[in-house]
Amino acid sequence: MAGEWRGAWKLVALSPGKSRDSILGRRRFSRLLFFLTLCVAGSITRANAQSHSTQARPSSVVVEAQSLLAAGNPAAAIRLLSSHLQAHSKDSSARLLLAEAYITARQTDQAEEQYQAILKFAPDNYRALAGFAELYEREGNPEKAEPMLARAVTLSHGAPKIKTAWAAVLARLHRYKDASRALAGVAPPSLPEERISFHRLKASIAAGLGDAATAASEIEKALALSPDQAGLQMATAAAEIQAKHWQRAASLAGPLFARHRDPGLGLMLLEAQLASGDDIRPTLQALRSATLPEQQEALFRQRVAELLISHERFSESVDQLKRVVELEPGRADLNFNLALAQFKASRLDDALATAESLKKTTDSAELESLIGDIQEARGDNLGAARSYQAAVALAPNEEKYRLELALDLIRHKSFEPARVVLRQAEELHPDSWRVRVVSGMVEYFAGSAEDATKMLLKAADLAVEPEPALRYLSDIQMDQTGTPDPAALSRLCEYGDANPNAGRLQFYCAALLFRRDYLSNDRSHTGEILRRLDAAARKLSNEASPHCQLGKAYRWIEQWQEALRESETCARMDSNSADAHYRLAQIYQHLGQQQRSEQEMRLYQAASARLADENARRDETIKTFLYSIQSETKDRK
């Protein structure tokens, strides 16, 4: 049993074509492997072949040969049928049964001769075609089997067993759409074993089509027919994991792992427990003590680390990666992954030691970038800057490393050096929207909103998807107190009109239109502004901003009840907004509700006291920008 399971976990758990890129932040898990198909095609086709000789009225010789086969005596059946065929060479039923007897005796060449003989005098004999196809399928040659089965389906007018065998071969060829069409309308067989194979086949086809829910449903039907079959339990657990039915997967994998201690089962259990939030400590402890051949263990430990990292369990992943490095110490990528996991786990000294050790033998821009991140987190700003500069020197033509250096300089408010780095990046990458965005934000942080606006408009023109650049542009325009830049306002509203689902940019457009008209005391566009703000409020249903702007707009045009409604909503959704409480106090005062006005003024004063000064607010803006732009520019996480 142990050997059988150890082979099975390789199929279920590990992707043999896995790359050796950094595994952190990626969830490149194998899809449900199609071992479901591998145990289907032969059994279905054999069941089909065994039924052929019973469909026509059998001769006495055929009946006797069938009895001999049933008794486990294929040699006697072969002698009897061979003698009979010397006198009755065109008895197709006898030749079909003789081919089956040869297959039972593992004499496939002789079986092939019988099918060829039948097809010479009866080329449309679909039973012979199906049997011949089975031989090809057994030999691992589904490409030859498939057209023969397709013809057999046509000649048999869609015989269910032949259609099923055809679908199984199509699934082996990864032609899942064709397999699904071949199986359409075929009812499940009546015999339990055939029914199990049928549902497994349907599950493998659904998995191949990416329909994990249907795959799980079909394999559950197979399991219901044989609930104690360990292989089916394992296949069902794997299918339920792909369907993200975590509790069901854990309920199947848990008892299996407890009985067999197979690493692959433990891996499935760990994945289900991580996703469902269950306690992983017992499973992880059992997996730590798993014994495997070294090459298999290295792959296995990487897979465990991937699972842990995908759920941000970085500390637990470090132990797994340490073991992988022990097994394959010469692998630079594994040492890099270990350093990165240690960094993510906030084991900064360990991360630096691992990275510096790797640097002695294999330096790279990516490694220097990681060392820069580690040094920055350790508070060594100068060391971080040196590492980011080293990354640029090692990969001078790669945009991301110049951006990382520029962002580090921005973090420490070294705006002029950041400009120099970004000008170099613009020369190397004139079509990069990311470089233009960062350049624009440097100008803004340095105090030039006008230059920042020009840069960000250029970034939006360069970007295939301009929304990120337009959001930064919007933030800058919203942060100003004067009239919005006309070009920026036009671009934002154009994008909002062309993209009705972009609720935030629709809001920015409406809010900036309102400010423009409010400052010029132009009430001719109030209908458009209110319409845009209403649309934004529907799209951004959990945000206060559209309601706050609506409150301002209604107060401006003296629609007091509407202004009260929206301003109350604004203050309720953003109780820390000093502006919201001040506006609400004014509205209550206008409506003669003096007590409530005074209450809102007290809330306004309390909120105002909490407002950060301009420098602190600018620092927070820089932090927010760095956080968001780094998610756009970093490949590793």
Summary count for the chain: helices (H), strands (E): 36, 0
Residue 241 belongs to some domain of the structure: no
What does the alpha-carbon distance between residue 336 and residue 89 come to, in Å, rounded to a whole number? 71
- Does 142 map to a domain? yes
What average pLDDT score do residues 423-451 get? 95
Structure tokens that stand for 153 in this block: 């389906």
Q: What is the pLDDT of residue 295?
A: 83
Confidence (pLDDT) at 11: 26
Identify the pLDDT of residue 630: 66
Tell me whether residue 493 is in a domain: no
Counting Cα atoms < 13 Å in the Cβ hemisphere of 460 gives 21
Judged against a pLDDT cut of 50, whether residue 5 lies above it is answered with no
b/e map 357-393, b = 16+ CB within 10 Å: ebbeeeebbbbbbbbbbbbbeeebeebbbebbbbbbe
Per-chain mean pLDDT for the chain: 88
| Whether the Cβ atoms of residue 48 and residue 362 lie closer than 8 Å to each other | no
Distance CA 457, CA 470 (A): 8
**Predicted local distance difference test score (pLDDT) of residue 4:** 28
In a domain, 617, yes or no: no
Q: What is the pLDDT of residue 172?
A: 95
Structure tokens at 515: 């400010």
DSSP 3-state of 482: coil
Contacts of 478-484 with CB under 8 Å at 24 or more apart are: 478/508, 478/511, 478/512, 479/449, 479/621, 480/449, 482/519, 483/515, 483/516, 483/519, 483/520, 484/512, 484/515, 484/516
Residues of the domain holding 194: 31-210
Maximal C-alpha separation, the chain:
116
pLDDT at 59: 80
pLDDT for the residue numbered 49:
41
What's residue 53's pLDDT?
38
| pLDDT tens, position by position, 384-411 | 999 999 999 999 999 999 999 999 999 9
pLDDT for residue 335: 96
Cβ contacts of residue 366 below 8 Å, gap of 6+? 22, 336, 391, 636
Predicted pLDDT at 223: 98
SS3 for 17? coil
Q: Does the pLDDT at position 51 exceed 70?
A: no
Contact predicate 170/146, CB 8 Å: yes
Q: What is the pLDDT of residues 507-516, one digit of tens each?
A: 999 999 999 9
Q: Are 530 and 509 in contact (CB under 8 A)?
A: no
Most confident listed range (213-222, 496-505, 610-619): 213-222
- The answer to whether position 192 is within a domain reads yes
Distance CA 83, CA 148 (A): 29
Please write down the HEC assignment for all residues of 99-157: HHHHHHCCCHHHHHHHHHHHHHHCCCCHHHHHHHHHHHHHCCCHHHHHHHHHHHHHHCC
pLDDT at position 46 over 90: no
> What's the token pair of residue 306?
């991937």
DSSP designation for 526: H
Residue 27 has pLDDT above 80, yes or no: no
Closest by Cα among 287, 291, 294 to 271: 287
| Per-residue pLDDT tens digits for 286-304 | 999 999 998 899 999 999 9
pLDDT tens profile 492-506: 999 999 999 999 999
Please give the structure tokens belonging to residue 414: 């070294």
Is residue 469 within 8 A of residue 463, CB to CB? The reply is yes
Share of the chain above pLDDT 90, in %: 83
307 domain residue, yes or no: no
Mean pLDDT in residue range 354-366: 96
Question: CB of 389 within 8 A of CB of 401?
Answer: no
- Is 634's pLDDT higher than 80? no
Q: Choose between 633 and 69: higher pLDDT.
A: 69
- pLDDT for the residue 267: 95
Question: In this predicted structure, which of 8-12, 132-136, 295-299, 376-380 has the lowest mean pLDDT?
Answer: 8-12
Mean pLDDT is highest, among 28-37, 55-64, 211-220, for 211-220
Can you tell me the distance from the alpha carbon of 21 to that of 331, in angstroms, rounded to the nearest whole number? 11
What is the predicted pLDDT for the residue at 42? 43
Tell me the per-residue pLDDT of 180-190, one tens digit each, with 9 for 90 and over.
Answer: 999 999 999 99
pLDDT at 357 over 90: yes
Cβ count near 590 (within 10 Å): 14
Of 549, 610, 559, whose CA–CA distance to 580 is shortest? 549
Most confident range, picked from 30-39, 40-49, 376-385: 376-385
> How many structural domains does the chain have?
1
pLDDT, tens digit, for every residue of 515-533?
999 999 999 999 999 999 9
* Residue with tokens 């968001």, as numbered in its chain: 628
Nearest to 117 by CA among 77, 80, 85: 85
Is residue 378 situated within a structural domain? no
Contacts 24+ apart (CB under 8 A), 485-489: 485/450, 485/453, 487/453, 487/457, 488/453, 488/456, 488/457, 488/512, 489/513, 489/516
Q: How many Å separate Cα 367 from the centre of its chain?
A: 26
What are 132-174's pLDDT values in tens digits?
999 999 989 999 999 999 999 999 999 999 999 999 999 999 9
Mean pLDDT value of segment 242-255 = 97
Q: How many whole angstroms separate alpha carbon 214 and alpha carbon 203? A: 7
- Using the predicted structure, report yes or no on whether residue 207 has a pLDDT greater than 90: yes
Going by pLDDT thresholds of 50, 70 and 90, the confidence category of residue 430 is very high
CATH of the domain at 206: 1.25.40.10
Domain annotation covers residue 72: yes
